[in-house]
């Protein structure tokens, strides 16, 4: 899997490559994670997700350097987006959007499962991004985040519809 974003963003030499994460990427993941969240996941949480057969972990690489990732886990009812983060220096270039679009492509054959995630109610930028990609707010989990007791907005997106035959 690889995707060219040069045309869309106009500023970069070369392209952005989306591929599966491996345990070799753990150091780079940790760096982005720590720069992105007040209560970052531990290395062992990432190692667990990366090796779980029911999870899909995609990384965005720019010139071979990891700049973002998305991790989803398959549950009975839906694909749960467990984590998505982009390096602070690289935000606003469409990398988060590209990662999520690739994830939808990778899971499109699963016509039964939609997608769900939790996001801090104050994280307006991320909520807008998810809404643009078809997620809708469906409920609130009160005091979900243990660091500041912030509420989580629960968002859902319907399964990807199979393409109509031509
Ligand atoms: C949310 C996140 C993954 C988006 O990644 P991204 O690569 O900047 O996303 P894109 O460039 O595809 O989309 C940018 C959109 O996100 C929003 N956004 C959120 N934070 C932003 C930031 N720091 N810089 C630029 N855009 C930001 C903008 O509103 C923008 O929307 P627009 O295209 O309509 O203007 C990234 O901001 C991030 O890692 N945040 C910290 C971790 C986090 O909050 N993750 C989500 C937890 S549920």
- For the ranges 30-39, 109-118, 141-150, 154-163, which has the lowest average pLDDT? 154-163
* pLDDT(4) > 50: no
**Residue 104 Cα to ligand 1 middle (Å):** 18
Question: Considering the entire predicted model, what is its pTM?
Answer: 0.89
Instruction: With a cut of 70, say whether residue 90 has pLDDT above it.
Output: yes
Q: What is the DSSP letter of 11?
A: -
pLDDT at 27 over 70: yes
- In the reported structure, the alpha carbon of residue 135 is separated from the centroid of ligand 1 by a whole-number distance in angstroms of 15
Pocket of ligand 1 (CB under 6 A): 36, 84-86, 91-97, 117, 119, 123, 125-126, 128-129
Residue 6 pLDDT greater than 60, yes or no: no
Q: What is the pLDDT of residue 15?
A: 86
**Range with the poorest average pLDDT among 26-30, 41-45, 159-163:** 159-163
What H or E segment, with its residue span, contains residue 35?
helix 26-36
Q: Which of 68, 84, 129 to mutate to test the pocket of ligand 1 (most atoms within 8 A of CB)?
A: 129
Please give the share of the chain, as a percent, with pLDDT higher than 70: 90
Q: Which atom of ligand 1 is nearest to the CA of 81?
A: 48
> What is the mean predicted confidence (pLDDT) over 86-90?
98
Spans of all domains in the chain: 6-157
For 160, which DSSP code?
P
Cα 127 to Cα 121: distance, rounded to the nearest angstrom: 8
Q: What architecture is the 6-157 domain classified under in CATH? A: 3-Layer(aba) Sandwich (3.40)
Looking at the chain, which runs of residues are DSSP E strands? 16-20, 55-62, 65-74, 78-86, 114-120, 136-141, 152-157
- pLDDT of the residue at 147: 92
CA-based nearest residue to 102, from 158, 15, 12, 20: 20
Determine whether 118 is an active site residue: yes
Residue from 73, 25, 82 nearest 52 by CA: 73
């Amino acid at each position: 899997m690889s995707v060219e974003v040069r045309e869309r963003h106009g500023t970069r030499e070369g392209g952005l490559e989306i591929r599966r994460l491996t345990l070799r990427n753990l150091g780079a993941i940790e760096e982005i994670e720590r720069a992105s969240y007040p209560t970052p996941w531990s290395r062992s949480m990432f190692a667990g997700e990366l090796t779980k057969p029911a999870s899909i972990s995609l990384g965005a690489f720019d010139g071979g350097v990891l700049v973002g990732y998305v991790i989803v886990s398959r549950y009975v009812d839906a694909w749960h987006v467990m984590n998505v983060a982009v390096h602070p220096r690289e935000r606003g270039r469409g990398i988060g959007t590209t990662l999520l679009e690739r994830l939808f492509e990778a899971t499109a054959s699963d016509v039964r499962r939609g997608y769900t995630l939790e996001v801090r109610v104050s994280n307006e930028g991320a909520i807008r991004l998810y809404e643009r990609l078809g997620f809708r707010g469906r409920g609130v989990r009160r005091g979900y985040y243990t660091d500041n007791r912030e509420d989580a907005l629960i968002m859902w997106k319907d399964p990807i519809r199979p393409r109509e035959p031509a």
